[in-house]
Structure 1
Amino acid sequence: MSGQWMLLFLIYFVFVQDTNCRRLGSKSPTFISKSQRLDEKIHETVLFECHVDNLGKKIITWYKVMGGKKKLIYAGNINIFQDPRLSAGNNGLHLAISNLKEGDDGEYFCQVNTNREDEIRLHHYLKVRVPPVIKPDPENGNINIVKVNKTATLKCIATGSPKPYITWSKLV
């Protein structure tokens, strides 16, 4: 089944099950898991939990907030985002991201539709730590020669997360 048809099937299935569950008077789903704020090193693996009580036949969907908009990345066991580093186990009860990259920083959430108009969401936050990298300036390695009693300008370009704190010292 193609990805688009599978997504349409999932959406239909979620709404049909919601309608049937309301008719039977079943309890609404509630989260057992708590929101997580994770701080992990680049290239590590992270695991977000989304355990739900009274889930029934509803489907857990996972989203990443990108540019202020939610982007569907997983629906049940289907990787919508098609990123092989992402995996959702047990029909979405957890989302794993392996080999973390800087771009993986941000907000993620799992969602369960409780009826046609409502849903519940559990938000998680990820900060990816990147070791500092210091680049010489100028990058070509040329040395600037300055006359005695003249001003010398020194530059240091450093990247990383969290942002590196740079100090200068003079060797005597």
Structure 2
Amino acid sequence: MLPPNNDELDNQLDHDNSVGVNQETARYLQHIESKLYADIETRKRIDSGLLFLSCQVGSASLAWLLFSLQISISIILAMSMILALLPGLIDCGESFHFELSSERWSLSHAKPLVALGKLAIGGVIGWNSTQKIVTEVKFTEIQIQQTYSEIKSSQNTNTFTIPSGVLTPVIFGLGLIAIWVITIPLRKKPNV
């Protein structure tokens, strides 16, 4: 925001010179006024920077949070990209000036490189955080398809196979039956 027109202040100070306001007081007031406006602009830049950083961190965090909640990939992509691009879009919206008169029209931008930089950085961070999730989902889908095809191929074979966890108890049981059958003749009493 630009400081208000200082013509009124200068006129007031010029009229007050006759009353007794000295030049030192006028310079001091102007110094205080310019310092206040500079502090306000600095605070705006700091707030803008903090918004930018929090949106970038929030975009990556939001992507992983939505992925953990098993939200659809399209929603994850949309929400993360919107959040990542938000500071750049705000800066573009606030700093563009459109002027239309009967003679001409003009479109100007106060800080085009800053706005484009924020959009580019936001796009890269949003794209990078969501692409990691997309590649993990695609890799998981490929692994699921491979497992499914292996299960289908093993179900199509007509051979009988014993599951590996059942083989040891079956052999142990057969061994006990064999020992019992072998010991039956030994248990009979001889006829005397």
Q: Which has more helix, going by share of residues?
A: 2
- Asked whether the two chains share a fold, i.e. TM above 0.5, the reply is no
Give the TM-score of the pair, scaled to structure 2.
0.23
Q: Which has more strand, going by share of residues?
A: 1
Larger Rg: 2
* Larger relative contact order (CA 8 Å, sep ≥ 6): 1
